[in-house]
Structure formats: structure tokens, C-alpha cells
Structure 1
């Protein structure tokens, strides 16, 4: 008697005969490729750049191996599950300092974000930590939140309108907007409250005020907000690449896919008229502009509604000699009041991560300075390296309140990435559902990536796994993917 039943043998054979093309070698593409390869499917991954990982990138700067893009994930969740599954759990680290400051306040001021706040909304506007932002006049205006009649409580979904009507412009402009723009490059008037802070609207109904709702949400808040890996997130990419290699996947870099074509035999990936690969399934996990170009001919204009909303972020990494930063005078991250400077914010990486501070040594610091632009706007990308590094140093000086001279800079790196909207952006879920429906209607086609799932490593990982499972399941259990 055979050790395995015939249906299982048939399934294994079917998997081994079902070829998969993955277009895009960012984290979404690598995860989708792995989900298919680990059940025996032959996978060819095509990446336009010379490196895999997408926004999870690294660079050698002044002798330090550094994250040059994404550097952490929201604690726990699908990203942590992936890390554990890849055997990297022992390398997980939490911040030694995760305080957030906001700079660019009136008269050049800066202050730490009150710990008793959600999305920058204070639980108590009279608290001194909040008054440093809004002053006595702003505190009086915000206190009207407690006195307003509960006629529309829990109904307003637009973050900007909710905060402005209940607590006033000072709270919105000086506390909420810097965090929304700095973290996600999205203005508060484009943020859905129910997605950005689940439970806030219902807490608003229960407590009768926005401040009371914030206090209510904070009751169950505990533990670190983010996690990372000792040595940097590049280890996650390396682990996925190694696993894919062990499974026989073909990972090809430096190849741009101009189009995907559906044929009676399945799918072809094309560079002009040249066929790059042929397969039964194709998963498009490219960035927003490439995804739109590849998917629209097959899935329609619903894709364009998602990809047109993207923006870009240029990150300038500076390694500086600045002993004045040893005490992390403004915490681990500083965001700017919109319009107060050219940078949207920075991460003081050596303040945040103990392993990096030890590698850098006393007096040497790593700063990631972010510049945001709408998609298609060249912005800082048009500047030469020397000019941009000077601007980044000057912006870092203003954000940190510590003078940094040109001679303090020991090394630098610049990188530009497409910046996905957060899932909390107004209309995101509806648009994403329309895209997923139009893609799923095409046999053998799948799509993944931050532009579709929303930003954040956990969301990207979870969505890539779900999409790979959908198209993989349809091929293995639902008949031929060409049907």
C-alpha cells in the first residue's frame, strides 16, 4: 500500500506542473513567490531593479550596515509571524527609545507628543504636555469638546473635520497633522477615523467627548508599538531569498516587464516583443505605476484609482559625528508641522535601536531624513547629491534643535521609494475591494503590494499571502487556471 493516497500524489503533481510568474521583487513579491514555491510550484520572479526587497533596502554608510528604507513593523501581527516562520525570532528587537517629538511650532518651538494621546489627539487639553503645543487659548478651545452637545457623536469619519469641530485648529494643525503627514504622507482631511483609530468613534459615543474617547482607548494600550531585527530588516529579505533558492525558484533582477499577455496556454511576461517567461499564473507585485501599466489592460480602470493616489518619499540617511545627540534630546523620531520646513520628519535611528548605537559608538549617530512629494513631482530628486545632503543636514539641525555642520557628516545615502497610502485613507478599502474583484475575475491573475493593501509591513505581508493563496487555491483545487 502506498504511503500517501493517490489524490495527494495527484495534487503534488499538479502543483509541480503549475508555473508561476511573479512580477516585482519587493516584500510582497517575495512573500507571494514563497507561498507558491513552498507547495512545489515552479516560480520565476522578475524584478526591474538590481536588488530585491523594494522598500526594505540597506546601504553601507561610513562603515555601518544600515536600513535605507523601511526599518520596523507594527509589533506582533503577520509581519512577526513571518519573521518567526523564517527562524528570525531570536533577532527581534524593540526600541530602547520610541519617543516622538513635533518641531516647527510657533517661534521655532518643539515638544514631545503627549503619551496620553491617539493620532496626536490629546486626552486632556489642559495637560501641560498638550499646552506646549496649543497654548492656553488652544486649550480653552479644545475644552469645548467636553461641552458640545452629542448630536453627531460617533458619525464623523473625516479626521480633520472631527478634530477641528470638536477641539479646534490648534490641535489639528500642530498635533494631528504633523503625525499624519510625517508618518504616512497623508493630510488629516484624507484620513478615515474608523480605520486609523478603530474604536474611537464608538468610544466617542460612550464618553460624549473626543478627549474622553482617547482616554478610553488608552486604557488597554501596552507594550512596544514597533519591532525590528537586530542588524536591520535586510535580514528578512535575505531569509526569503535563501528559502526561495532552496525551493528552486528562479529570481531574476535587472529585467523590466513591459506587459503581461494572456494566451490559450496561460500567461507571458514580455519585454517589448521578447518573451521573458511563460506560466500558468501571474502575480503582479510591482510598484504602483508599473502595476497600473501591467494590470489595466486586463483588470480595467479600477486599478488606476488606487495607483494614481500614490506619492513618493526620498530618504536621505546621514551618519554624523554629534556628541550633543548622545542623550537623544528629541527622542527617536521628530515630525514637522506641515509647511514649517522642507522635510516631513526624521528618525534618529541610533536613539531608537540599541544594536545600532553600539555599532556606531559614542558620539556618532544615524539620521534618516524624509522628503515627501506627490507622484510625478521630481522635488528633491532633481537636486544634486551635494545640495540635497546640505538640505538634509540643515533640516535635521532644525528638527533636532542641534547644530550640525558640514564637517560633522561622515557619510550619506539617498533613496527614493513609491509611498503607498495607508489603509486609513478615506475610500481606500472600497477602492481596494474594486481592484481585487476586477483582478480576481481574470483567471490566473493576482495582484499584491502596498499600493493595494495599504502601507505597513504587516498589511503587505498578510495581503500578499492571501492573494497568493487565492490564485494558488483556484489553480490547484478549482481546475485549470486557464479556464
Structure 2
């Protein structure tokens, strides 16, 4: 396995469970990828994913197998808010509408919708109910669809903040079939975009929830690491894979195959080099390889290993996303003034962050652990723009995050209240949901499938979130098992 994120660990474990010998190579010094931990002021907090979508049930099944089912918890149902430009250069906030999908309202004239987009915006959005559906089943761009059916106010105030927060992408670039599967068909059935949204919301109520793990999602990584050790999986951290080539090696004695077999040679070097020490290369051979590394690493290795695939030139550039976590002494936040957090509309004066999660308000277990302290987490980095935290020192980032949190939460926070801060950067956030990306992924998967003994997985091909990543990784492992495990044992 190349890459020790959740996808790589799940695939490794699934292969090891049937007796295959597995080695995991991870560039970082820890496993977990986008599911990690950060220690702040005596609290162990999530530095990446803090929840999972319940759709499909695959993540819940994995947690059951890992003995964590009893620690699965629900978040505070209070919901999130939207922070947006107010009158005369002020900052305004309002609860996000309860009945919507990706910010598209099912009831354009609802009080909660009008609070955000006003009567004029709501009246324009209601025209969707009166306009015929002319392009049945043909909408591709989320942004273009919303703009044409409901107008700019819904797009700018409701849809764009959610698109940036969830997918780190502009809604014009998001593939409707990926981010809202079935919406084209639902619009056709119901005769309007808002009607289609309402239809899908009713249909998906049972599978649309998110849940977490008491103590944090990083406990999933701990459980996977323990299982890898139990099944004797070799884990090599701080190892950057630099080469993947097909080579011939001597066949095991007694096999009638001409004395040689083809395998993959995987080359790696220490990723944390000591300038005074010559790095020692790592060389491994394997019949099967799973690339579960980030996009730029995997694409580079595939370009070297798969002759039928040309290049990554047409792939979109990755977004740069950074999370900043604050632990503060702020009694006024105990009332959760913005529910479980807020998304931030573009152009909100004096706010650089694109989203804030009030983690100690969202999760009861964290509120108990934090006591009188409050934990908030801010997200930075919008699609198509440089990350605003680039080049800033940790102290400068903490000061900016504190100012942003004050504006978003509507509570004065100053440096005297700050007990600890930490930052986590994701520089290779490639959205699976942008227009054309499904076709690029399919072409890549077809090329890889024609090459024996190589699989690819991870969020850059599977989609956003554990509910997409886990089943995709399991499918990759099952294909290897199908090739390698026979009625007579491991081939």
C-alpha cells in the first residue's frame, strides 16, 4: 500500500485478513491522512475529519468490526448559521435554512430563506416554481442551474458558502450528478428545482445524517493501526515513494513459468532527511500495489507505471485548505450563539475564514472534556485563490483566527482568552466533484484496470468523506483478493 490514510489502511487490513502479506508505506511520520489528532491545552482534538456521513452504512459496519460501535454519537441538532455581509459594511448572521440541499431551498419563500436573501431574492427564487423545466435531465453545473432557476441571491448567499465549505470549489465548477445525484430526475418529476430538492430531502432523510465518535474521529485511526498490527501488516512511516516500475524476478522453485515472474518494484526514500546523512533508499517488490496516496503523488507514479495513460496535464489544480483550532476561555460562547458553527459568504467584511465549527457546542463529549473552555475550528482556503494563511507565522495565524472567530460568533474574543492554538494544512485537496472530473477518473481507472496488479483509491478518486472513501477502498481490496485468493489458499 502506498499511502497510510484511512483508504490505505482499510485496503491493507482487508487484504491482510485473508492471509496476504501487506506492507504500508506512508510519507508522513503518522498514519491517518485527513483523519488525525492535535493536542492543545491538554485536549486531544480532531485535526481533520470530525464526523462521517451515515449513507450506505459502510463506515458504521467498519466501526462495528473495530469495536467502536458503542462510541458512535450524534452531534448537537442545533444546526449551523451563515455569516454574510450586512448593511453599511457590517457583518450579519442568520441560521441556515433547515429544508434545503447544498443551500438550494425547498421553500424559497420560507422565513429562514427570506432572512438571508430578502424578499427580492426570495421572489426571484420562487419564479423557479413558475418556469417550465426546459432542459430535462441535462443540467451539469450546480452553479449555472441555481443561477438560472433561482437567481444570484440564492447562489451567492446560500449555495456558494456550502460549496466552498464542503467541496472547496466554486458551484459553477461542481458536477450536479456528483454533488446531488438524482436531482435532475427529481426536477423532471416535480417540475421545478425547489420541488426536486424537496422530493430528494424526503427520500433521503434516513441516510442524510452525520455522526461522530466519542473522543474524536482520530480513534478510528488508532483502531485501524491496532488491527494492522494484529494481522502482522508491516508499516513503514516517513517513507516517500519515488518510483513504481514493472520488473521480472526469479519465480519460486518448482513453478513451471519459465523461471521468472513480473512484479512491481516500489522505491522509496526517507521523507524527513537529515542533511548530514545520506538517505538510504527502500526497495520492495510486490505482486499487487494499491496507490492510496494523495492525487499528485499517485498521478506521478501512475504516469511512470501505466503506459496506456498519458499524463495528468488536464487534471485540475488542487486547492490549499488549512484548519486552525483555538481553545479559549470565553464564557459567552457557552450559549452557542451560532449553533454548531457557521459558513461564511464571500465578501463578508473583516472575515478571512470560509467556515467555523464550534466543536465544543457540536459534540457533547468534547464539551464535557473541555469543561469551562471552548473549542472552535476555522477553515481557510477558497477555490481559485491562494491560501490567505500562506507565509504567516503561527502567532499571526492565531491572531487572525481569533479576530475571525469574534466576527463570526458575535462575541468579543481577545488574546488574553486564548489558551492554545494549532494549525493543520492540506495542500492537495483535489475535489472529485468538479465538472469533468468523473470522466477523468473513469479514463484513469480504465487505464489502470488494464495494467495487472495495480489499484487506486482515496478521496481524489472516490469522492469526499469517509462514506465515499471506505467502500471504494474495500472494493479495491476485494479485487486483489479475488485475483490472489483461491479455494486452495493464497496464490
Same fold (TM over 0.5): yes
SS in 2 for 1:115: coil
The equivalences for 1:48-447 within 5 A come to: 48-76=27-55, 77-107=57-87, 108-222=91-205, 225-265=209-249, 266-271=263-268, 274-299=281-306, 301=309, 304=312, 308-340=316-348, 341-362=351-372, 364-372=373-381, 377=386, 379-418=388-427, 420-447=429-456
Contact 2:332 2:411 (C-alpha < 8 Å) held by counterparts: yes
C-alpha displacement of 1:121: 1.1
Deviations 1:210-256 (A, max 9, x none): 22222222324535720111001111111111111111111111111
The corresponding residue for 1:465 is: 474
TM-score, length-normalised on structure 1?
0.90
Give ranges in structure 1 of 5+ residues lacking alignment: 1-21
| Cα offsets for 1:27-73 (capped at 9, x unmatched) | 11111111111111111111111111011110110111100111111
CA contact (8 A) 1:302 1:435 kept: no
Q: 1:61-101 CA deviation, whole Å, 9 max, x = no partner?
A: 01111001111110252211111111110010010235121
Provide the secondary structure at the position in 1 that maps to 2:312.
helix
Residue 455 of structure 1 pairs with residue 464 of structure 2: yes
Give the C-alpha shift of residue 312 in structure 1: 2.3
1:284-315 Cα deviation digits (max 9, x unpaired): 11111211221211236566268644212111
**Residue 25 (str. 1) matches residue 22 (str. 2):** no
Structure 1 window deviating more from structure 2 (85-94 vs 278-287): it is 278-287
Residue range with higher mean Cα deviation, 368-377 or 166-175? 368-377
Corresponding pairs, count: 460
Going from structure 1 to structure 2, the CA distance change for 1:252 and 1:375 (only over 3 Å counts) comes to farther
Contact 1:444 / 1:475 at 8 angstroms: preserved in 2? no
CA contact (8 A) 2:296 2:428 kept: no
Q: Is the 8 Å Cα contact of residues 315 and 370 (structure 1) preserved in structure 2? A: yes
The 1:373–1:277 alpha-carbon spacing in structure 2 relative to 1, beyond 3 Å, is farther
1:43 corresponding residue in structure 2: 22
Instruction: Compute the displacement of 1:174 (Å).
Output: 0.3
**What's the CA shift for 1:423?**
4.2
Output the CA distance in 1 between the equivalents of 2:42 and 2:482. Answer: 46
Instruction: Confirm or deny: 8 A CA contact 1:302 1:438 kept in the other structure.
Output: no
Q: Which residue of 1 aligns with 2:254?
A: none
- Identify the residue that residue 483 of structure 2 maps to in structure 1: 474
Please say if residues 43 and 250 of structure 1, whose CA atoms lie closer than 8 Å, have aligned partners that are also in contact: yes
Instruction: Give me the whole-angstrom Cα distance separating, in 2, the residues matched to 1:294 and 1:96.
Output: 43
Distance 1:400 1:302 in 2: 49
C-alpha separation in 2, matches of 1:256 and 1:461: 23
The normalised TM-score by structure 2 is 0.88
Provide the rounded CA distance (Å) in 1 between the counterparts of 2:294 and 2:23.
18
Q: What CA distance in whole angstroms lies between the structure 2 residues aligned with 1:323 and 1:132?
A: 28
Q: Distance in 2 between matches of 1:473 and 1:380?
A: 46
Change (3 A) 1:425 1:204: same
Q: Give the CA RMSD over aligned residues.
A: 2.4
